[in-house]
Structure 1
Amino acid sequence: MSAPVDFRPTHVVPPGGLAAWESPDTGRPTVPLDALLPVQLIDRRGDWARILCANSWSAWVDGRLLVTVPQGPPVPGAPLARTADPRPLLARVQDMLSRYRSAAEDLAAGRLDGEAFRQRTQGLRAGMVVEGEAVWLYDAEHERWVYCDGTRLSTFAASGQPSARPSGAPSAQPSSGEGPVSGPADATRVVRPDGEGHSPESTGPWPGET
């Protein structure tokens, strides 16, 4: 079957291939996608992405793991695309760290007790590793680590199953006295900036480790 006239690849499947579903529901799996297959993103529902292949076949995948097709350099002075601009995520991480630091200072000064400190910091989730021009940030909205080269974000690791929760909706909060909620370890899929896959069973380093 020939490619549809309006087929314009926007992403490619990561090197390790990608599981696919008939609908945004993990209970309805379909044929997995081959590694490096060009696809066109045609719909989003939270972490879920509906993709179109060159032969007009479509499926739902974990959109956090799709690799964006390289774009041309931005026009000087033009704003970055919303999906690529790292500044909103940098601001959210900075806000989380600021709130934690404020609570920690109040605890150290005796203005908070241990219980009040736990309540004040409950639900805070942030992560950042900086190594020269490379930055890894934790995106709590989509439960993933992203890699940033200063201008563009790309998924580095995703934990848990894709969610249909709209961007900006609150994530599940931990119960009282418990730590942050995280996805199951066996559901983690890592995509390094160089395109290499990484599974949770391997012993390779995480961001910033040597």
Structure 2
Amino acid sequence: MTAPFDFDPTHVAPADGLQTWASPDPSRPSVRLDPLLPVRVADSSGNWSRVVCSNGWSAWVDGRMLVALPHPPPGTGRPLTPAEDPRPLLAALEQALASYRRLVGEYADGLIDLETFRDRTRNLRLGAVLDGPSAWLLDLDQGRWYYSDGTRLQTYATVEPPVSEGSHPRGDAA
């Protein structure tokens, strides 16, 4: 029996996915990586990067398009503060997923039509990536991705782009 593949992602594919190639040769395209798929960069050659996926599959990509993941912050070993506790956000994610699952079932069973399904799911938004003890959780109410190693919750990225002085997000006036 072989040891399990140790996967530690270094990057993710961009939000619209990423074309792959069997070798660093643009004339031999392969399949596309899924949007935001975690990958590990194993090799580079100029702008080309060979990435490895969690299942061990590898391919070459345009490395300039990859989104780097920072190293996760270390746990502190101290009790959680309310602001660091991931449980409220996990509960909100569970509730949104349960609502979506229920509505999919109602639509599949013919209890609601497509327009009703779309209307009732319009405000359901969630995002979560779980990799062993690590979790990246999207909280759209706060407009942030959070990272949790199980011991604390830390802001990882924001959904909205930075605002320069004198401008307003989404074009809103002050």
TM-score (norm: length of structure 2): 0.48
- Report 1 or 2 for greater relative contact order, CA contacts < 8 Å, sequence distance ≥ 6: 1
